[in-house]
Amino acid sequence: MIAAFKSPFLLFQELGMTELLLIALVVLLLFGGKKIPELMRGLGKGIREFNDAKNNVRKEIEDGMKDQPATTDSKNA
């Protein structure tokens, strides 16, 4: 029976240096030397946008929690 993985990151915990070099070589062969910087730049922009959105949501939740006790106090008064 096949065991189910709890997290996709568990798959990458046991990658050694040889496997990482092999993956890098395959990426280099598939995309070529000139495309890799463009791919990494796009990946960086995507990660930055994701983190910005995550931080905005966190800030909105924290601001909402700060405002909530003030509104409940005015209702009780």
- Residues 27-51 have a mean pLDDT of 90
Tell me how far CA of residue 37 lies from CA of 15, 56, 71, in angstroms.
23, 28, 51
Give residue 32's region: left, alpha or beta (phi > 0; psi -120 to 50): left
Domain extents for the chain? 33-65
- Residues 17-28 have a mean pLDDT of 88
Structure tokens at 3: 């065991």
User: What was the pLDDT predicted at 3?
Assistant: 54
Using the 8-state DSSP alphabet, how is residue 76 labeled?
A: H
User: What was the pLDDT predicted at 28?
Assistant: 87
Is 0.75 topped by the overall pTM?
no
Q: DSSP of 32-56, one letter per residue?
A: HHHHHHHHHHHHHHHHHHHHHHHHH
